[in-house]
Structure 1
Amino acid sequence: MPEITVVKVESVADDGGQPGRMVHIERPKDWAACPDCRVISTTVRQRRTTRPRDLPYGPEPLAVRWHKRQFACAEQRCARKAFTESTAEIPPRARVTGRLCRAVARQAASGRSIAAVGRECGLGWPLVHRHFAVHADALLIEPEPPRVRGIDETRRGRPQWIKNEATGRWARTELFETNFGDLSGTGGLLSQAAGRTSKAVVDWLNTRGHAWKSQVRIVAIDPAACYRTAIRQALPHAVIVVDHFHLVALAGKALTAVRQRITREQRGRRGRATDPEWANRRLLLACAREQAPRSVISHRLHRFLSWCADSGLSELLTLAETIDAWWPETLAFITNARTEETNRLIKDAARVAFDFHNLHNQRRRVRVACTHHTINVPAA
């Protein structure tokens, strides 16, 4: 550490007889400046020994003993009569070195839980979380407006009931969070908003300002009517896109519903692996990457919708209505895979933390988890 000199290293044993090392350090300069008046003093009043916790090094436990000096202030008019020497890495009254604080913050930002990092370094949860919050807030700057944006939702866990002290009424917390992602740059997860409604999306977009919204050209969403309504209201110039994956997923669900219903009606039981309709359940394939001309695509769509209408099956009629309603957005053809990846990272962060109780901590932790791979983290 800067301004610190190792005096000696001793081999010691803890209470359980396990070997360890004790490092004795001191500040080599025999003078120090008063933190109030900045007058240099060389008069030592007394010596003290502190035990700051530092980064582990090597296979054996490491203990640090800092032999500090207390100086008498040389300025008679200074209100501070004495002060103890300190450094930037070990400030006054600090029990943890600065490099250990930065290390635990980076460990928590890498995806590990706060509790696990604290147990490994012998620190409490509040201390680790405080330094992680400082580290994360420095990284999560306001992103540039993306040209292509993804919007999706994730569930926030179990609902909680909170009592309003003013009205005395109980209100349930939102079960869903709307996620705003950057699909054209390296912004990752831009932000989150409570709820899965048009108002939540419109309010978040309006807070960015007109200049910010004007930069957005394409918005990729799921087949959610509330999101489509919000985008048309807040971003009327943007092109709305629905990933073709969702149409394939809807077709797969419709096929599964028909297969299960027919199996129950004809066999009087659930499907088994030996049933042909069960063994061939994954034969539905997508031909989205063929890059066929628009005329061919329109012909196939018409043939598909006619086939669904002539089938007389309620599942296929529902599928045809959904595809027809969202076909203009699907025809734009842009993948929303990065938004789905963000959803997976959000869920992983919640699992590592065994779910969140504080909404502000959750959003900070989730944003770091979804953007840390695009951020150049400075060295300690």
Structure 2
Amino acid sequence: MPEIAVTKVERVAVDQNESVRVVHIERPEDWAACPECGVVSTTVRQRRTTRPRDLPYGEEQLTVRWHKRQFACAEPLCPRKAFTESVAEIPPRARVTGRLCRAAARRVACGASVAAACREYRLAWPLVHRHLTALADELLAEPEPVEVLGIDETRRGRARWRKRPDGTWDKLERFETNFVDLSGGQGLLGQAAGRTGSAVVDWLTARGPQWKQAVRVVAIDPAACYRTAIRRSLPHATIVVDHFHLIALANKALTSIRQRVTRDRRGRRGRASDPEWANRHRLLRARERLSEHTFTHMWNALIDHEPTGQILTAWIAKEELRTLLACARERQPRSVISHRLFRFHSWCANSAIPELATLAETIDAWWPETLAFITTQVTNARTEGTNRLIKDVARVAFGFRNLTNQRRRVRLACTHQTINPAA
């Protein structure tokens, strides 16, 4: 206890079952100042014993007995005639110590729910949440300027459906746009409601011109609204598109082609007996992660049972795109990048497959941002990791009703991940 120095331990006793250690404490001074007028008094009116609950001593339960004194105020004009001595760690009429409440708050900050901390420390929900708010206000500050900024969105809560007057249904989803420090250790910088360009513009504008001027690189997913907002608010920054989502687009096109070919040839969905369905996971796996036996088995099965060749054509297009994006890791010169880009576009154009044509058009539309990724090697991986932490916090809390509480808990969990619960 921080203020244990101003008290003295009178005696330590053990109860009859020898499982609870009782500590009797009292303050050594025989005087106290009135909290109303500040006049020192030495007149003791009566003595009281309080039993504030405290943290356990190791594995043993600890019980505190504080022998207080009630003083009579020495100032006749003071409206307060009597007062009881107290310390900030155990304020007047408190039934728990401050360090017990702070330990519960740190337990929540380390990943537990408020309800779990209440059960563990036998405290009320409002009390734990009040100290959690104080801990968050102490640790969380206005974000400092960053050089590399990551932007991504997460869904807030479950989707809801609204019925229209004509009988159709609308899907209503709530999103939060997350801003993450990719170059430093600040973690989650903040959140904005919605996944629109105006949400990004408003959040960046609130940071100020000096903060925005410090941003050099912004990593995003291939979202046109985010790109437009960044060009508007940060015209000097380099926009980088994350390569993971580009490969995900290629895998999505490959899956769409596989499903369409199966429906056209068999008139139904894929089954386990269909070679293209049996190899669906191998088609999405990277070539270097397939053994020679597995690759040969997949290739021969599709050659023998899929006469159109569209599935293997889409798989080759996906691998060509991966080879192009691998230039960032291999640090290839501009000539090699141009050659691999031409080979990817040529393969997609010559295939005459609509899904591959759409994929090539998407890569072409995002080529400046893709080239920026290849040259800078900046990814949005840390932002994706932050999204996972945000979802974990929501699962632990079984959802949030209050948006302010959600953002506080989320940022505390994503920014300060090394909080010592026993500090």
Alpha-carbon distance between aligned partners in 1 of 2:33 and 2:175, rounded to the nearest angstrom: 55
Aligned-partner SS, 2:336: helix
Alpha-carbon distance between aligned partners in 1 of 2:197 and 2:221, rounded to the nearest angstrom: 13
Name the counterpart of 1:313: 353
- 1:89-111 per-residue CA deviation (whole Å, 9 max, x = no partner) reads 11222222121122222211112
Task: Trace 1:72-87 onto structure 2 (pairs within 5 A).
Answer: 72-87=72-87
- Alignment partner of 1:140 is 2:176: no
Alpha-carbon distance between aligned partners in 2 of 1:274 and 1:173, rounded to the nearest angstrom: 37
Q: Per the alignment, do residues 274 and 62 of structure 1 end up closer, same or farther by CA in structure 2, a change over 3 Å counting?
A: farther
Q: CA deviation at 1:11?
A: 3.3
Alpha-carbon distance between aligned partners in 2 of 1:330 and 1:205, rounded to the nearest angstrom: 23
- 1:177-234 per-residue CA deviation (whole Å, 9 max, x = no partner) reads 0001111111111110000101111111111121211111111000000000100111
CA RMSD in angstroms, aligned pairs only: 2.4
Name the counterpart of 1:360: 404
Alpha-carbon distance between aligned partners in 2 of 1:57 and 1:173, rounded to the nearest angstrom: 51
Q: CA deviation at 1:298?
A: 1.5
- Alignment partner of 1:245 is 2:289: no
Name the counterpart of 1:337: 381
Name the counterpart of 1:291: 331
Bigger mean CA offset, 116-125 vs 262-271: 262-271
Aligned-partner SS, 2:278: helix
Alpha-carbon distance between aligned partners in 1 of 2:246 and 2:140, rounded to the nearest angstrom: 35
Q: Name the aligned partner's letter for residue 50 of structure 2.
A: T
Alpha-carbon distance between aligned partners in 1 of 2:274 and 2:413, rounded to the nearest angstrom: 44
Alpha-carbon distance between aligned partners in 2 of 1:48 and 1:38, rounded to the nearest angstrom: 22
Query: Whose helix proportion is higher, 1 or 2?
Result: 2
Name the counterpart of 2:130: 130
Name the counterpart of 1:150: 150
Q: CA deviation at 1:291?
A: 2.1
Bigger mean CA offset, 214-223 vs 67-76: 67-76
Q: Name the aligned partner's letter for residue 77 of structure 2.
A: R
Task: Trace 1:49-64 onto structure 2 (pairs within 5 A).
Answer: 49-64=49-64
Task: Trace 1:1-380 onto structure 2 (pairs within 5 A).
Answer: 1-12=4-15, 19-158=19-158, 175-267=174-266, 268-272=268-272, 275=275, 278-279=278-279, 280-285=282-287, 286-287=322-323, 288=326, 289-333=329-373, 334-373=378-417
- 1:138-186 per-residue CA deviation (whole Å, 9 max, x = no partner) reads 111112110110000000013689xxxxxxxxxx996000001111111
Alpha-carbon distance between aligned partners in 2 of 1:10 and 1:177, rounded to the nearest angstrom: 55
Scaled by the length of structure 1, what TM-score is found?
0.89
Which 5+ residue runs of structure 1 have no aligned equivalent?
162-171
Contact 2:107 2:421 in 1 (8 A): no
Bigger mean CA offset, 86-95 vs 219-228: 86-95
Scaled by the length of structure 2, what TM-score is found?
0.81
Q: Name the aligned partner's letter for residue 310 of structure 1.
A: N
Alpha-carbon distance between aligned partners in 1 of 2:357 and 2:160, rounded to the nearest angstrom: 38
Bigger mean CA offset, 318-327 vs 32-41: 32-41
The number of equivalent residue pairs is 366
Aligned-partner SS, 1:302: helix
Q: Name the aligned partner's letter for residue 25 of structure 2.
A: I
Q: Per the alignment, do residues 195 and 32 of structure 1 end up closer, same or farther by CA in structure 2, a change over 3 Å counting?
A: same
Contact 1:157 1:355 in 2 (8 A): yes
Contact 1:263 1:271 in 2 (8 A): no
